[in-house]
Amino acid sequence: MTATDPALTALANGWAALYVLYGRIEAHVERSLQSEHDLSVREYSLLDVLGRQHDGEGGHLQMKQVADAVVLSQSATTRLVTRLEDRGLLARYLCPTDRRGIYTDVTEDGLQLLAQARPTNDRALSEALDEAAANPELAPLVAAVRAINPPAALVRP
């Protein structure tokens, strides 16, 4: 296999198209969330993930699980949690069964902001996908994104 192998070139082109699609979507959603709710995409994602927690078995996430869910390092996630905690949108507490564990919950203010921001996020995502679908190089990726059925754990109540 050489660097000019058609399979490698196609793979690189596919990755480049996916990266462009991701960048366009993130930028559009970021602008909308920032201008309407003073939230970044990462902040919204963190509130959304933590807002899905429940009191049942396995219903609360440890920081490593939260970091994986929002696709950040643990240290970046901790900084993000601290920033939202300082804004009164999150609260941390010790795990009742393991004093070494720390959990994070969304406060009432955080839940209210999340509820206000969710339609903005959804609208901006739809707009970004519609715009990208007009590009013939991105249209197949947009179709693939739209065809994905999220696992039940990711569907909002």
Q: pLDDT tens digits for 63-122?
A: 889 999 999 999 999 999 999 999 999 999 887 777 777 889 999 999 999 999 999 999
Which residues on adjacent β-strands are paired with residue 91?
105
Asked if residue 21 belongs to a domain, the reply is yes
156 has a pLDDT exceeding 70: no
Predicted TM-score (pTM) of this structure: 0.85
pLDDT classification of 58: cutoffs 50, 70, 90: confident
Asked if residue 1 belongs to a domain, the reply is no
Q: Which domain holds residue 106?
A: 6-154
Asked if 74 contacts 67 with a C-beta cutoff of 8 angstroms, the reply is yes
43: domain CATH number? 1.10.10.10
- Write the DSSP assignment of 20-70 as a string of letters: HHHHHHHHHHHHHHHHHHS--HHHHHHHHHHHT--SSTT-S--HHHHHHHH
- Total structural domains in the chain? 1
